[in-house]
């Protein structure tokens, strides 16, 4: 039985930052994640994708953000159960919880923080007859290593941020990038739309809209695609090495949905934004997995939610103690490993 103060389900950025905030309160954390490494989607799906809205970082790759978070929480020595899915939960007589994974590993804690992002997920796939034939043979639903596409002819389909961002990114790597979308309008950030238009004008991206991919062709691997313009019904046949449909993810909460939590549109409803506690006292939901009025699915919002959650968790664990918050600029950071980070103290000299 693994025992800890806060059991965090989900080792994405929000879950990792919760370890730091809990550590400042001298609370130990253990994390469970179905993926084989920490970092959530940032590590598994788009480690090389740049993120632009992390305070203090004009641009940071998703994988680098995870590496930085792992370095930040190292002094607090979190435990990890990776490659296992949180399956069952049981409340004990003392008010603590026991969470058992699909492999039978048991964890006990007075506080559960669900930071599972979108939960378990699978890509939304286009309805193409022979799509499975070319999976991993030219067809991929996510980009883990952009170098795979160096000097290749790449076709991306989609109209959201991922399709736009990867088209921009691969324009510097692939020999040819084509972006196909069924509408003329895109759903992504305006800056990204404008950048794609600039790259099209420069001849660095082929933009085919409104259109959709209707056929995949090849023998041992993908060699060609058929594209149909939805405005004229004209068919275009294009030689490609890779086809990457980026139509988003279909999220599923998995076994957590059966824990008695209040669910709204495949997300966990939290009672308030004071501490992001669920309808079950002692169980919190932070990050993309939760929902409440005004919710924004942003990493920086998850960091905020993790901070308030840890403050509330401390009060639940130590109801008779009054915690006085100290800024890290004043109190520094004291790790469980004996390390200490603090600002140098000013030296006051007497004046003769």
Binding residues for FAD are 14, 33, 41, 46, 86, 121, 288, 329
Binding positions = 14, 33, 41, 46, 86, 121, 288, 329
Map the chain to HEC letters. Answer: CEECCEEEECCCHHHHHHHHHHHHCCCCEEEEECCCCCCHHHHHCCCCCEECCECCECCEEHHHHHHHHHHHHHHHCCEEEECCCEEEEEECCCCCEEEEECCCCEEEECEEEECCCCCEEEECCCCCCCHHHHECCCECCCCCCHHHHCCCEEEEECCCHHHHHHHHHHCCCCCEEEEECCCCCCCCCHHHHHHHHHHHHCCCCEEECCEEEEEEECCCCCCEEEEEECCCCCEEEEECCEEEECCCEEEECHHHHHCCCCEECCEEECCCCCCCECCCCCEEECHHHEECCCCCCCHHHHHHHHHHHHHHHHHHHCCCCCCCCCCHHHHCEECCCCCEECCCCCCCCCCC
287, 117 in Cβ contact below 8 A?
Answer: yes
Using CA atoms, how far apart are residues 193 and 173, in angstroms rounded to an integer? 19
- Quick one: tokens of 71? 């370095």
């Amino acid at each position: 039985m693994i025992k800890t103060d806060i059991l965090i389900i989900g080792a994405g950025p929000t879950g990792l930052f919760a370890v730091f905030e809990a550590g400042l309160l001298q609370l130990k954390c253990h994390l469970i994640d179905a993926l084989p490494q920490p970092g959530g989607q940032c590590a598994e799906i788009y480690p090389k994708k740049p993120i632009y809205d992390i305070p203090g970082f004009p641009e940071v790759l998703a994988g680098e953000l995870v590496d930085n978070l792992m370095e930040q929480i190292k002094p607090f020595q979190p435990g990890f159960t990776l490659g296992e899915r949180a399956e069952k939960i049981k409340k004990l007589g003392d008010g603590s919880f026991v969470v058992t994974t699909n492999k039978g590993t048991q964890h006990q804690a007075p506080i559960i923080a669900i930071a599972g992002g979108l939960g378990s997920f699978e890509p939304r796939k286009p309805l193409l007859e022979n799509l499975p034939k070319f999976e991993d043979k030219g067809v991929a639903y996510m980009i883990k290593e952009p170098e795979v596409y160096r000097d290749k002819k790449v076709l991306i389909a989609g109209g959201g941020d991922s399709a736009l961002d990867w088209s921009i990114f691969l324009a510097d790597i692939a020999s040819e990038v084509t972006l196909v979308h069924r509408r003329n309008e895109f759903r992504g950030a305006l800056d990204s739309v404008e950048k794609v238009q600039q790259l099209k004008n420069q001849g660095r991206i082929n933009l085919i809209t409104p259109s959709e991919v209707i056929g995949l062709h090849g023998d041992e691997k993908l060699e060609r695609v058929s594209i149909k313009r939805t405005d004229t019904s004209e068919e275009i046949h294009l030689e490609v090495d890779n086809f990457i449909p980026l139509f988003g993810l279909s999220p599923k909460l998995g076994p957590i949905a059966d824990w008695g939590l209040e669910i709204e549109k495949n997300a966990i409803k939290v009672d308030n934004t004071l501490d992001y506690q669920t309808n079950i006292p002692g169980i919190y939901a932070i990050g993309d997995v939760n929902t409440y009025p005004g919710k924004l699915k942003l990493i920086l919002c998850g960091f905020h939610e993790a901070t308030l959650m840890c403050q509330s968790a401390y009060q639940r664990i130590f109801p008779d103690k009054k915690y006085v918050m100290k800024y890290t600029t004043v109190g520094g950071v004291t790790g469980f490993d004996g390390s200490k980070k603090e600002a140098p103290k000013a030296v006051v000299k007497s004046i003769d």
